[in-house]
Structure formats: structure tokens, C-alpha cells
Amino acid sequence: MNKLTLLFSLVTLLVFIGCIKPLELPAQHKDPNVLRCEKDCGTQDLDDEFTFQARLERGANVTFIEDDIILSSAHILGFDENKKDTFSCGAEAATKRNTDWAHHKRSMYVVDGKNYPNKEIIIAKVLDISARATGLPPGYDIVVAHVDRNCKECSKDVNIKITPIAIANNLPLMDTKALHVVVPGNSQMNKGRFYVDHLLNGRIWGAQNTSCSRQTIKHDGKLNPPMLFDTSGSPVIFKECGKYVLHGLHGNGAQDNGYMYEFLQLLQTQKEWIQSEIYRWTGRTEMLDSCSPTGTRSFMPGNEFDVPQNDCNKETYAVDHHPQNFPSCRTSHSILDSIWAIKMPVNR
């Protein structure tokens, strides 16, 4: 079999079995046969260093980026790559019918991450959502939501402090050390919110209209830890200006040769859109910022950005979504970095 035929066969197989799928898998679903961690994973956040990480009462991780704003993967609310009628580019997402939001928007709550899954302490109610959900990578898979921290159902007996995390301004350099912060779906994985080391040594890539929006992470148990399932929407963070900032979200990936390749959904190119939604909901024209002397900065349209901002359209890509078919980001990575960066194999 020649290389071209082998490549075509592998691509066809990937598409046929749908291995590039969101990783928020139902409990009864048989997970891919890859290296994974299922018990006593990571280090529990006993010192409450990462209180920004919480979980929806109905499952899936969410991250507080403001006191009243959360982020996660859009597919956790039913914005599915197989349901093109749910594809969204902003506020229209709240009007889509065939989603979890449409079915449960009157009773969607956020629970504290420290005590979950042993206790479900309600700390917020979701008021409204906006999403960029445009299908498989390099399409978008992001939902941002406005929440009420003083909701009627919110716990009054326990004072849960949340310290939000700012979104990164810049893309990280190759081999930047990072952390993956997770609220587990079960007590075997960990007894509460925890974190595990990551190394950002993978290629940053995207399509023409979604440039610099994905980074590949190979969960090989060596440079990066074994795969964690039931963690969609959980963030990878690194330090910028001496403070932890939000880099990308777990939730999409593909398997190859016994390993999972995560395609992190990066957020640096989304700040203008997120700021605009915050303004629509609250009237605020600034967001948290790790490098500003005041701790906040405006990312409204017309301001300067450290990374070019991406727009959104519902373009669908060719049948073959293999990352190698899409160009590397040139904003932060040199050509040398791209050569040495971890990539998803095309063939074996």
C-alpha cells in the first residue's frame, strides 16, 4: 500500500468512526482505548488556589472569568457538531431549540468545585448564554454565560468565595509549563477540585477564519499526563505577568495508537467577542487582565489586542478535519517551533 493510499485509508477511518469527537462522554459510553487516569488523579486543591473552577449541577466544568461570567465548551449544552441547526455565532445560541439550554434554561445552576462530587452547593444560576459553536476543530466550541451569584437557590449557609481568572493576552511560547484544573465527575478521580501538570509543547493551529485557535496536547503519560475523561470545559492555565491566566479548554480530541490527542480550544483570539457579550449583559467595558496595573482592561472593539481577534462564521470544513490540513499559527511560534512541536500523526 503506497503512502497516499494509506493516508486516505486512515483519514476515512477517522471520519467513519468519528474519533474526532467532544470528550464529554456519557457514563454508559465506552471510552476510547487510550492511556487514561481514572483514580487518584492529580493534586487536590486544598488551599483553594483555583476557586474559579466550578461545575454545572447537571455536569461539565465551568470557569469563572468574572464574578458573574463563566466559560465552558459549547457542546456541554448540546451544541453538537452533528446538529448543524445548533451552530451559533453569538447571542443567537440562546434561541436554538435543540439544546440543553432550551430544555433547562429556567433551572440551570452552577455548583462549587471544592466540594463536588460529594456535595452539590449551588453558587450561581445561569441567566443567559452566548456561544461560538461551529462544529469539529478547527471550528469553535465555546460558550460564555451570565450568572447570578445571589440567586434564590444559592447557598446562604456556606460562604463560597470565587476568585475569577483572567483570559491570557498572549499565546504561550513552546514548552511553557501549565496546569490543567478540573472539577471531577466522580470521587474516584479525586475527592474535589484538583490540578495536574501540562506542558504546552504542541502545535498551535487553526483554519483561515479560526487561526491560532487550537493547540495539540498528546496525553502520553510522559511529557503530559494520561487522558482525563468527563472533564469537558476544564481549563489549561499558565502564568502571564506573574499570574495564572486562562489559555484553553479541554473538550475535543482524537485518538491514535493508544493515546489521546487533545485539541485545546484557545481563547486569546476571542476576547473582543467575550467583552462585547459582557457589555451586552452588564454594561461593563472592561474585563480582568493579568498585566494591567489596575487589574482590568477594555477589550471592546477598536482597542488594541496582543493577539489578532477572530470573527465567527458557520463555515463547515472539508470532510477531513485532520489538524495537519490546517496551518500553524505564526503569531507566537517560529518555523522551528512548528517543526519540533507535537502533532497528531497522519499515519504510522
Does the pLDDT of residue 13 top 70, yes or no?
Answer: no
Cα–Cα distance list, 332 to 200, 284, 329 (Å)? 13, 30, 7
33-61 average pLDDT score: 95
118-141 average pLDDT score: 96
pLDDT number for residue 175: 95
pLDDT number for residue 72: 98
User: pLDDT tens, 313-329?
Assistant: 987 665 577 888 899 99
**Sole residue written with cell 480550544:** 265
**Sole residue written with cell 493516508:** 7
User: pLDDT tens, 213-239?
Assistant: 999 999 999 999 999 999 999 999 999
Q: pLDDT band for position 346 (50/70/90)? A: confident
Provide the 3-class DSSP secondary structure of residue 103: helix
pLDDT number for residue 61: 98
Does the pLDDT of residue 29 top 60, yes or no?
Answer: no
The CA distance from 325 to 323, in Å, is 5
47 φ, ψ to 5°? -95, 10
Q: Where are the beta strands (DSSP E) in 26-167?
A: 43-44, 53-56, 61-66, 69-72, 88-90, 109-112, 122-133, 141-148
Say if CB 107 and CB 37 are below 8 A apart: no
Q: pLDDT band for position 330 (50/70/90)? A: confident
How distant is the alpha carbon of residue 330 from its chain centre? 21
Q: pLDDT band for position 298 (50/70/90)? A: very high
Does the pLDDT of residue 21 top 60, yes or no?
Answer: no
User: pLDDT tens, 74-128?
Assistant: 999 999 888 999 999 999 999 999 999 999 999 999 999 998 999 999 999 999 9
Q: Which helix (H) or strand (E) holds 200?
A: strand 194-200
Residue 217, amino acid = I
Instruction: Indicate the average pLDDT of the chain.
Output: 89
User: pLDDT tens, 149-171?
Assistant: 999 999 988 889 999 999 999 99
Say if CB 111 and CB 66 are below 8 A apart: no
Q: Which helix (H) or strand (E) holds 260?
A: strand 259-266
The CA distance from 89 to 101, in Å, is 16
Q: Does the CA dihedral 291-296-299-304 come out positive or negative? A: negative
pLDDT number for residue 115: 85
39-55 average pLDDT score: 97
Q: Which residues neighbour 208 within 8 Å (Cβ) at sequence distance 6 or greater?
A: 327
Q: Does the CA dihedral 97-98-103-106 come out positive or negative? A: negative
Bridge partners, residue 263, by sequence: 216
Other Cβ atoms within 10 Å of 336 Cβ, number = 9
Pick from 150, 202, 178: nearest CA to 332: 202
Range 304-330 burial, b when 16+ CB lie within 10 A, else e:
eeebeebebeeeebeeebbbeebebbe
Cα–Cα distance list, 326 to 4, 257, 318, 344 (Å)? 18, 22, 11, 12
pLDDT number for residue 20: 43
How distant is the alpha carbon of residue 226 from its chain centre? 18
Q: Which residues neighbour 28 within 8 Å (Cβ) at sequence distance 6 or greater?
A: none
Provide the 3-class DSSP secondary structure of residue 141: strand
